[in-house]
Amino acid sequence: QVQLQESAPGLVKPSETLSLMCNVSGGSFTTYYWSWIRQPPGKGLEYIGSIHSSGSTNYNPSLKSRVTISIDTSNNQFSLRLTSMTAADTAVYYCARIHPYYYGVDVWGQGTTVTVSS
Amino acid sequence: QSALTQPPSVSGSPGQSVTISCTGTSSDVGGYDRVSWYQQQQPPGTAPKVIIYAVSNRPSGVPDRFSGSKSGNTASLTISRLQTEDEAFYYCSSYTNIYTLVFGGGTYLTVL
């Protein structure tokens, strides 16, 4: 069965860029939407954006100016870049698979904690 | 996009039923049958698990005590025959008219 595993940058300094990668194993990479979702401490889930296996992207309007999601289908990986990090970006970041039919998350990565601090 | 509206908390006793609402707009919940529900157990940072997809469908392995429905701009999750292990956070999500996903703010279920 498909498994997702995020890389773990841990600590990012204010104003720097967050780079995360998600490795996908055990399933088909095509057809699905591959997404990033985050959860600040004590708060709810926030959709960051997604990329289809074809390469088309969609982003949360509130983050769109700072987000880039890319895909590497040959290595079954997709990545997140989030620029100009601030303390408000401190969160658990999940990579996730979105089903193309009902557009809900059917597979989650385990999540990686990102802390923004100098 | 604005977060979908969920009650912050609900509670019930073992054996009872509870319903959690998820209210959006015609641009998300009301416009598409693409509402999902997720259960997130403690501790914080534990990955959520889908329990309902496409409004009312249960993935294999999810007990039939969990059911979903939708009316207009509001989706609902009903948990019947409550068990102590149902105590968790519950989140809804919906596809939107700008091709994104939006989540509800989350509801904590306490089983008394």
pLDDT in tens, B18-27: 999 999 999 9
The pLDDT score that the predictor gives to residue A29 is 82
* Interchain contact, B44 vs A42, CB within 8 Å: yes
Look at residues A52, A55, A79 and name the one whose alpha carbon lies nearest to residue A67.
A79
Query: What average pLDDT does range B66-81 have in this prediction?
Result: 98
Strands A11-12 and A3-6, by their bridges, are unpaired
Is the torsion defined by CA of A58, A63, A66, A69 positive or negative? negative
Query: What average pLDDT does range A40-69 have in this prediction?
Result: 96
The pLDDT score that the predictor gives to residue A30 is 87
CB pairs under 8 A between A and B: 82
Structure confidence at residue A32 as a pLDDT band (50, 70, 90): very high
Q: How far apart are CA B30 and CA B19, in angstroms?
A: 18
**Chain B contact probe: residue of A46, A50, A58, A102 with most B CBs at under 10 A:** A102
Q: What angle do CA B83, B88, B92 make, to 5 degrees?
A: 115
* Interchain contact, B99 vs A101, CB within 8 Å: no
The pLDDT score that the predictor gives to residue B34 is 97
- If phi over 0 gives left and psi between -120 and 50 gives alpha, with beta otherwise, what is residue B54? left
Could you give the percent of chain B with pLDDT greater than 70?
100
The pLDDT score that the predictor gives to residue A27 is 83
Is the torsion defined by CA of A21, A27, A33, A39 positive or negative? negative
Structure confidence at residue B38 as a pLDDT band (50, 70, 90): very high
